Amino acid sequence: MQYLILFFILTWFSPSENLIIEELGKFGGTGNRPGLFKAPSGLDFSEDGRLFVADRLNHRIQVFDPFGRFLANFGGYGMGDEKFDEPCDVWARSTLNIFIADYNNQRIQRYNKNLTYLNSKYSNPGEEERFQHERILSMAYSPQGELFLLDAGENKVVKINQNDKGIAAFGFYESGKGQLVFPVQIDLTGNHRVIVSDAGARKIYIYDYFGNFLRHIEHPDFLAPGGLAADDQNRIYVADPEAGKVFIFDLDGRYLAGFSSVNGLTLIRPVDLTVHKVDKLYHVYLIDGDEIWILKLQFKVPKE
């Protein structure tokens, strides 16, 4: 694996903020050896600073340090425990658990921080139909221990409590302006907001934790918004693979900045991203094709 240190700074100006981007490096490439990928589709940082990547078409999860150095992988194709069939997203931010969206196996697999398999969450046919789910695209786990599942079967979000019981469902046909069309990913902000990207509607949907729809975020350059991340200032980052661009908004939907190239190289297909804060700066890890870019972002208020 090669880790490149580059020193190129690009600056964008917006009405409210100045964004400085420094490229720190990139890693990966196409293949099935450790450290290589086939259509990676989701990534997340654990509290101890490990980067987890859903290596979708290699049917595994890979683990790296913040510099992109390979640490471990687990999984492999199959239907049994600890096997995957196109894992499409990973949530590693909870204190104790790591959750994997095992898409074609129609389940969530749960591991502990030592990468030991714990159990799998399937849809419960004994529950109300609105709480049942089919293929999980993405999930998010709240500090209160509630699991939000983004289901591609009925284009909805199912909220599960600590006792593994469905307690809310939203985003489907009864949700009015909050009805999802072709959702891609779900995330949570620090002020109890649920955000969902929708490639079909070309919007970002914002709900509260109870599933009440609050607002849309839109942009004229959106083509198929997909990957989502939120930082500790509740800025929302959106990766749009069809537009080949990353967009950044505040929680009210105001556009702050965006970029489609770094160091003179154009993004090919930015699929997902995650934000890892280092001191007072934000490091963004961005899946672009079969590579992961490491970018350092600094937000500054322009002088008047």
Structure tokens at 235: 């800025």
Strand 255-259's sheet: what is its strand order?
227-230, 236-240, 245-249, 255-259
Torsion of CA 152, 173, 252, 228, to 10 degrees: 0
Contact 41, 273 (CB under 8 A): no
* Whole-number Å distance between alpha carbons of 11 and 22: 9
Contact 73, 100 (CB under 8 A): no
Buried b (16+ CB within 10 A) or exposed e, 143-156: eeebbbbbbbebbb
Per-residue pLDDT of the chain (304 residues; tens, 9 = 90+): 444 333 333 333 333 346 889 999 999 999 999 999 999 999 999 999 999 999 999 999 999 999 999 999 999 999 999 999 999 999 999 888 999 999 999 999 999 999 999 999 999 899 999 999 999 999 999 999 999 999 998 999 999 999 999 999 999 987 789 999 999 999 999 889 999 999 999 999 999 999 999 999 999 999 999 999 999 999 999 999 999 999 999 999 999 999 998 888 899 999 999 999 988 889 999 999 999 999 999 887 655 4
Sequence ranges of the domains in the chain: 37-281
User: pTM for the complete prediction?
Assistant: 0.92
Q: Is 132 helix (H, G, I), strand (E, B) or coil?
A: coil
The tokens describing 175, both together, are: 């949700």
* Residues whose CB falls within 8 Å of the CB of residue 272, separated by 6 or more in sequence, listed in order: 40, 41, 42, 43, 89, 185, 226, 227, 228, 239, 286, 287
- For residue 130, the 8-state DSSP code is G
Instruction: For the domain covering 37-281, report its CATH number.
Output: 2.120.10.30
Number of H helices, E strands in the chain: 0, 27
Q: Taking CA 140 as the corner, what is the angle to CA 134 and CA 146, rounded to the nearest 5 degrees?
A: 90
